Amino acid sequence: MSLTSETDERATQADDVKLRLENLDKHFAVNQGILSRILRGESSQYVHAVDDVSVEIADGEAFGLAGESGCGKTTLGKTAIKLTEPTNGRIIFDGEDVTDLSGGDLKAFRREAQVIHQNPYDSINPRFTVYEWVEEPLIVHDIGTPEEREARVLETLEMAGLEPPEAYAHEYPTELSGGERQRVGIARALVLEPSFLLADEPASMLDVSIRASILEVFERLQDELGLTALYISHDLSLLKHICDRIGIMYLGELVEVGPADEIIDNPQHPYTQALVSSVPRVDPDVDRERIELVGEVPDAVDVPSGCRFHPRCPKLIPPEDVDLEQDVWRAVANLRRDLLEDDLALADDETPTPAAIRAEYGVPDELSDSHVDEVLSAALETYTQSDEATLDRLREALESPCERGSIPTYQATGVQRSQCLLHDPDGPYQVE
């Protein structure tokens, strides 16, 4: 499913597309280790780390990926530059299909796409000096004479902000601060003169006082070198500062894409709205509603049907014949879900009476919609009897449109695409 807006399509037609991902999947078998396979056998279950992601990144663009931990953003970034192999889909880089590259062709691609890792304390070999660590890619790719490599290493160290470079060249990582180590990582990524840079949480392991200077390095280098960059971060404020566009990921899917300012100031997808509402504001006088999400992120092995966000969504769409306030409908939906999964959230000493269950979930004793109240009451009355017919009725009668099939993506605004039925121009749903 593509999340490239009409505006973005016009832009990428006018400018070269550096990276295009087409229906990209990355799934991991649950039993991957040898011991696990011996003890448990081959598994037919898979972690859906990345599912059906399509997006374009223009030449020279800074594109950000955001989302909760475990949403798949790092896996998407690594798969996009073939640090991990995709399960399905295509990777187009500079107009060429690089999905199945191997051997010498893959090695040549490595020169063009480099990565800066999250942890500068783990990503540098402590046995190498700074000079040896930055020079190594040049040796691996058989680039230049020793003199030419020395000049290139010193030049790159200076570009990364390690000045004078000669003073750092023969230091070991243990002699450097976290910020200096990250600059070494930047220098190593730049020494091959790549055209594409993947920066995975490049400032998250650094002190707040150092982050700003590292971000300034990225901005300067991107302007000076014309780099295309993919920044991965859970920090929306950081991405707004350094990115042209932002993509929001949830449970392996890309649910919204748009210009950085619009994503932060005018989020369209309910999940994006919840993320933005949690970003701290400097001005304490700014009045902003905090959106509290219910439950936990679902299992990436057994992903929900329909919209993957629907078990937690504060704007869950009710069936057409249901007439309830949104907060009441969300409470009913939570109770319905746990009834169907036989996983009621009750205290151990709680007597599971219908009234006690309703109170625990915040569902009124009597609902204003008599049809919903009758279906729910019947399911609660027969809860301990495991009456399948009643549960089937509960499942079918109160099924949200968000639970059905595959959710398309829609043009939410002139510059934003959203994977949400609320933005279906031909649908009966209203965006609140």
pLDDT tens track for 205-214: 778 778 888 8
**Residue 286's pLDDT is what?**
62
Extract the tokens encoding 389.
């017919």
Taking 70 as the threshold, does the pLDDT of residue 11 lie above it? no
Structure tokens at 379: 């399911």
* pLDDT at residue 98, as a whole number: 97
Q: Work out the average pLDDT over 143-160.
A: 96
**Which whole number is the average pLDDT over 393-405?**
94
Q: What are phi and psi of 36, to 5 degrees?
A: -65, -40
Q: Cis omega (within 30 of 0) on the bond before 164?
A: yes
Distance (Å, whole) CA 382 – CA 392: 12
Mean pLDDT within 143-158: 96
Question: How many Å apart are CA 91 and CA 79, to the nearest integer?
Answer: 9
CA-to-CA dists, residue 36 to 122, 165, 213, 300, 302, angstroms: 27, 48, 45, 19, 20
Q: What are the tokens at 343?
A: 């996983």
* CA–CA distances in Å: residue 16 to residues 2, 58, 316, 430: 18, 6, 39, 37
Least Cα distance to 155 among 104, 52, 79, 224 occurs for 224
* Measured distance CA(149)–CA(185) in Å, rounded: 17
Query: What mean pLDDT do residues 3-17 have?
Result: 51
Q: Is the pLDDT of residue 349 over 70?
A: no
230: pLDDT strictly greater than 90 = yes
Radius of gyration of the chain (CA): 25
> What is the rounded average pLDDT of the residues 371-381?
93
Rounded to whole angstroms, the Cα distance separating 194 from 213 reads 22
Continuous segment of H or E residues that includes residue 114: strand 113-116
Average pLDDT, the chain: 89
283: pLDDT strictly greater than 70: no
Q: What is the pTM of this model?
A: 0.89
Q: What is the mean pLDDT of residues 119-138?
A: 93
Query: What is the phi/psi pair of residue 207, to 5°?
Result: -60, 150
Helix (H, G, I), strand (E, B) or coil at 160: coil
pLDDT at 211: 85
Q: Greatest CA span in the chain, whole angstroms?
A: 83
Domain residue ranges in the chain: 2-249, 326-399
6 confidence band (pLDDT: 50, 70, 90):
very low
Residues 360-380 have a mean pLDDT of 94
Q: What is the CATH number of domain 2-249?
A: 3.40.50.300
Q: How many CA atoms lie within 13 A of 342 on its CB side?
A: 7
Calculate what percentage of the chain has a pLDDT beyond 90. Answer: 71
Average pLDDT over residues 182-193: 95
Choose among 417, 408, 427: nearest CA to 306: 408
Q: Is the pLDDT of residue 37 over 60?
A: no
